[in-house]
Each structure stands twice: as C-alpha cells, then as structure tokens.
Amino acid sequence: MAMLSALEISRQATLKPVTKIAAEAGIPEGLLEPYGEYVAKVNLDAIEALSDRPRARYVVVTAITPTPLGEGKTTTTLGLGQAMRHISKRATIAIRQASMGPTFGIKGGAAGGGYSQAVPFEALNLHLTGDMHAVTAAHNLLSAMLDNHLHHGNELGIDIHNITWRRVLDVNDRALRNLVVGLGTAEDGVPRQAGFDITAASEVMAVLALSSSLRDMRDRLGRIVIGYTRGGEPITAEELRAAGAMTVMMRDAIKPNLLQTLENTPVLVHAGPFGNIAHGNSSVIADLIGIHTGDFLITEAGFGADMGAERFFNIKCRTSGLAPDAAVVVATVRALKVHAGAHRVVAGRPLPPALLEENPDEVHAGGANLRKQLENVAMHGATPVVAINAFPEDFASEHAAIREIADSMGIRCAVCTHFVDGGRGAVELAEAVAEAAEEPSEFRLLYPSEATLREKIETIATRVYGADGVDYAPAAARQLDSYERNGFGTLPICIAKTHLSISSDPTLRGAPTGWRLPVREVRASVGAGFVYPICGDMRTMPGLPSHPAAERIDIDENGDVVGLT
C-alpha cells in the first residue's frame, strides 16, 4: 500500500494545545501569544525568564553536499527530536520558516516529511503568523523611502548607479529579477534600474535571524547600507530615517513561533534566511529560548556542512555566544553515488535507474564528500555523528559502506528510518548523538574577527572548501578595500556560492582539489553583520518550473487544502 502524503499524515496527527507544549518545555503560558489552538508566538521575555534553568545540549544538523532533490535534513532534524523522547530525553527543535515561493514552485514545503514533520502542516507552509509578510513590508518600506528621497531632491547625494537595495516578494517570479522603476511622469519618481529578490534573500530577514533583542534589531536595521554616494561613502537606513518604522513593522515578527512535531515535541520556527547569500539558519532568539527548555536543543543549518554549518559556527554562534556540543551530518546512499560522478539528478525528474542498482563501491567512491564534510565539522571542535537517511531503494551493503567510512574516521554512525517510522526510526541516531554530546566540547571559530576580509575569505576557501587559493576580480578587490576603509573589516564572511558542490563549480562532485575560488563581486550586509563575496551566478529570485506545484494546490468540496507537499 502506498504511503500517505505528508498532508494526509499531518491531518491524522493528535495534536496537543500549544499551551501544553509550552508547559512541557517550561515556558509559562503568560509568555505565549496564541494564534489559534496549535500555534503561538513566544514573548522575548522568555529569554530572561528561562535563564536560570539548566542549559541543554546544543546539536546542529547539517549534511553532505546535497543533490537537487535534497537529502532529508529537515526530516532528520525533526525525527531526531522525536527520537529523544524514546530514550527518555526531552528535546526542543529549532528550524527555519518555509518560504512560499518554493512551496508553490518545485521544492514544496519545509515542514519535514512522512512521520517526522512539524505541524500544523498547512499553517507552517502557508503564511504561519505572517513573519514573511512583515519582512517583505519592512524591506519594501525602506525601498519606498529610498526612492522618495531621490524624488525629493536627493539631499544625501546618493549615487543612483550605486544603489544596492532592491525590493522583495515571497513569490518565485523570474520576470521581476531586473526592471526599471520610476517610469512615467516626473511625479512618478526618478527612473533607475532595480529589481526584486525573494523575501528569504532580504537583509531584513538576515537581521531578524541574527538579532538578540528588539533593541538589537532596531540597531541592526539602522546599520543597513542601501547604497553609496559618488564619493563612495555608505548611506544607511538610519540616514533615510526608515529604521524606526521598519522596527515597528517587525515588532511581532521578532517573536519566535511555537509549534510541535507529529509526536508532540516542541518546535520553534523562526526566520528563513536564504542559504546561498545569507547564513541559512533559524534565529538566534529561538535558540536563546530553546537552550533552556529541555535536555537537547536541536537545530538545522542549510545545505551542506561547507555552507550552512560553517556559517552556523562562524556567524550564528559568534553572534549568540552559544557553543555546539555535537553535529549530525546527514548522508544518503543516492547522494554519495551522485558524488561518485556517474549519475545526473535533476529536480522534478525520476531518478536514473542505474542509481538504484546495488553498488557499494560507488558509495565508497562518493564517500570523499562525506569525509570532507565530517572534517569541516571536526575542525570547529564539534563532535560529528553520521546519520544515514535510509530510502527503500537502498541496500544493506550500501549502508555498510557508509558505516565503514565513518568507522575509519572514528565517528559514530546510525541508520535512520524516521520518514517511515517517526521517532522510533531514529533511536539509534538519538543514542549516538546523546553519547557524542557528552564528550568534552572544544568549540572554536575558524578565524578571529580581527583578521582582514581577505584573510577570512582565504581561510574558508582553503580549509573548508579545499581550494588552492582565491582569485579576486578587479571590482571585488576594490569593494574589499572600500569595506575595510568604511570599518566593515571586522565582520564575518558569508561566501555566496553553489550549494551543489563544495567548490564554486556546481558540476564538480565529491571533494574537488586543484581549483581556485573566483570572487567576482563582494557585497556587505552591514545590518545583518556579515560580508558576502559572490562566487558564481547566484539567483536571488527563483523562477517557476514548467509545471509548478501551484497548479496542483487547491481546495476540495469541503474547503480543505489539497495538493500541498
């Protein structure tokens, strides 16, 4: 019999009122702002109210380099959180909020899947409590005030050819990537080239994710750089007098959302920064609350360990002051076979038949990627654990091959069937993580804040990516010099590159060597607090496929949602 869809499974779940979920996590009911019976925002006073409680073990879930289909990292995060209850441990999970653009495009939702998902499924994937809309509105308010300033005389002397602030929308729409604003009469504004990004790529989203308080968010929003004068001086949101109103619009969005898993494990869902050009992690505030709500706080970092986990360590942990105790690296048989270089996987298309044939040697060949990602975790001092996310098409010999790789490095490994079996399918992983988290932690940042921007970029490129060095385009070199002069040199680095390879070339599989990282441009997210070199063609506004998921999403005769995945 075919397995039920995620939406069908979620509707069969027995949910507890969100007040009971909060009570089990030690969050007083007076700190909740309910959105119906099963969702609530958590007041920021919870950070102080819970501070005298014991600190949970802090675990980040990352992965090998993913294929275009994804390898089940969110599902593993949720399954691990559910499994902790099966070994008599209490866990809280912290994940990013879904972006509706991909939900209606090709990727689907971001609530996990099978019997390891966050619920209510529909609420999580469709608006939730409106945080995405608040980010969109605050971002576009700044855009409107910028163009209004230009229209009324440009007192600040902004160079209209050096404006870095665009507009955002939480929809996949390639037609909005590049456009001209201000067309029409003189009363319609100053004509200039502009465009839209998806809301998840907004610096306001990154600010939300990295803020530690309402005041901190206000200050960060004020530091956002929207462009430069003809003399190269940065112009900020504070100078446009927009930051205060932006903060007011974000006043509720800064509060994390409390949901639950199918097995009633607490889930904090908050912020959804892009994984390519931002740090790709859920919020600092959610972690500052969740770290005092149980035995374990389990969070997820976007894409592979070379991207989301590296940024988790060097941006998020640097900001929050929290140190991880263990890191789960999710691996799948099919992804390691792809990294062996013999198969091509395309999102939305069936897997190649040869990929599903038993071939442990191919798993070993692709294991170079797993080894490098485990090294990337270990170099930060966090104890790694390998989670084999099992698929029905896998063979025992192929799982054994992954175990052999982990054993050769002295690293714990567990096979997980949480997609089909829920928490009990990840018990072996939970036991391995609990053991790993008890080992002495020697967490360390990859580079000091005082290092130059070039030193930071080169450290990440050579140590994490395995590059021989870095090549800077002339424009990138000038931008780095400008940022150092303007006082941005102490900021951490967030390298924008493909997620489909440890290198900057999406066609290179495994753990490539003998290549150099090309930096063609460098941008500064000063409000969020990082500088991001761009290495390749990064799409910040996705397009829709020929048959997007939106075509299948509807309501039935009872008014219930159908087609949501």
- Residue 465 is part of a domain; what is its CATH number? 3.10.410.10
Does residue 255 lie within any of the structural domains?
A: no
- Residue 196 is part of a domain; what is its CATH number? 3.30.1510.10
CA distance 89 to 81: 9
Residue 503, Ramachandran bin (φ over 0: left; ψ between -120 and 50: alpha; else beta): beta
Joined together, the tokens standing for residue 285 give 């505030």
Is the per-residue pLDDT at 473 higher than 80?
A: yes
Joined together, the tokens standing for residue 448 give 């000091």
Q: Are residues 374 and 511 in the same domain?
A: no
Does residue 31 lie within any of the structural domains?
A: no
Last residue of a domain, one of 381, 410, 438: 438
Does residue 469 lie within any of the structural domains?
A: yes
Is the per-residue pLDDT at 489 higher than 90?
A: yes
Q: Are residues 475 and 338 in the same domain?
A: no
Q: Are residues 332 and 461 in the same domain?
A: no
CA distance 56 to 157: 50
**Residues comprising the chain, all counted:** 565
18, 29 contact by CB (below 8 A): no
- Residue 305 is part of a domain; what is its CATH number? 3.40.50.300
Backbone angles phi, psi at 118, to 5 degrees: -90, 145
Is the per-residue pLDDT at 391 higher than 70?
A: yes
Does residue 19 lie within any of the structural domains?
A: no
Q: Are residues 364 and 427 in the same domain?
A: yes
Could you check whether the bond before residue 120 is cis, i.e. omega within 30 degrees of 0?
yes
Percentage of the chain exceeding pLDDT 90? 85
pLDDT value, residue 107 = 67
Beta-sheet pairing, 112-113 with 383-389: unpaired
276, 535 contact by CB (below 8 A): no
Q: Are residues 139 and 202 in the same domain?
A: yes
Residues contacting residue 438 through CB under 8 Å, at least 6 positions apart: none
Q: pLDDT for 186-219, tens place per residue?
A: 999 999 999 999 999 999 999 999 999 999 999 9
Q: What is the mean pLDDT of residues 255-265?
A: 98
SS3 assignment, position 521: strand
- pLDDT averaged over every residue in the chain: 95
Confidence at 1, pLDDT banded by 50, 70, 90: low
Quick one: which of 109, 87, 237 has its CA closest to 565? Answer: 109
Is the per-residue pLDDT at 142 higher than 80?
A: yes
Confidence at 276, pLDDT banded by 50, 70, 90: confident
More confident call, 58 vs 536? 58
Q: HSE (CB half, 13 Å, CA atoms) of 35?
A: 19
Range of the domain at 180: 131-249
CA distance 329 to 374: 7
Domain count within the chain: 3
* Greatest extent of the chain over all pairs of C-alpha atoms, in Å: 71
How would you class 60 by CB atoms within 10 Å of its CB: exposed for 0-12, middle for 13-18, buried for 19 or more?
buried
Q: pLDDT for 13-53, tens place per residue?
A: 999 999 999 999 999 999 999 999 999 999 999 999 999 99
Last residue of a domain, one of 249, 275, 307: 249
Last residue of a domain, one of 411, 438, 465: 438
Q: Are residues 284 and 220 in the same domain?
A: no
Joined together, the tokens standing for residue 132 give 């995405």
Is the per-residue pLDDT at 536 higher than 90?
A: no
Confidence at 105, pLDDT banded by 50, 70, 90: confident
Q: Are residues 225 and 266 in the same domain?
A: no
Confidence at 108, pLDDT banded by 50, 70, 90: low
Percentage of the chain exceeding pLDDT 70? 99
b/e burial code for range 159-182 (CB count within 10 A of at least 16 → b):
ebeebebbbbbbbbeeebeeeebb
Give the bridge partners for 565, in sequence order.
none
Beta-sheet pairing, 116-119 with 257-261: antiparallel
Confidence at 547, pLDDT banded by 50, 70, 90: confident
CA distance 429 to 444: 25
Residue type, 260: Q
Does residue 302 lie within any of the structural domains?
A: yes
What's the pTM value of the predicted model, to 2 decimals?
0.96
pLDDT value, residue 98 = 87
Q: Are residues 464 and 510 in the same domain?
A: yes
SS3 assignment, position 183: coil
52, 291 contact by CB (below 8 A): no
Q: What is the mean pLDDT of residues 504-522?
A: 95
Cα distances (angstroms) measured from residue 120 to each of 222, 267, 321, 426, 438? 35, 11, 31, 22, 33
Quick one: which of 32, 5, 66 has its CA closest to 499? Answer: 66
For helices 427-438 and 73-86, the axis angle rounded to 10 degrees is 80
Q: Are residues 202 and 147 in the same domain?
A: yes
8-state DSSP, 550: G
CA distance 288 to 292: 8
Does residue 155 lie within any of the structural domains?
A: yes
Q: pLDDT for 446-470, tens place per residue?
A: 999 999 999 999 999 999 999 999 9
Q: Are residues 325 and 433 in the same domain?
A: yes
Does residue 288 lie within any of the structural domains?
A: yes
Is the per-residue pLDDT at 144 higher than 70?
A: yes
Q: Are residues 423 and 526 in the same domain?
A: no
Quick one: which of 526, 96, 498 has its CA closest to 280? Answer: 96
Does residue 527 lie within any of the structural domains?
A: yes
SS3 assignment, position 67: coil
Q: Are residues 167 and 316 in the same domain?
A: no
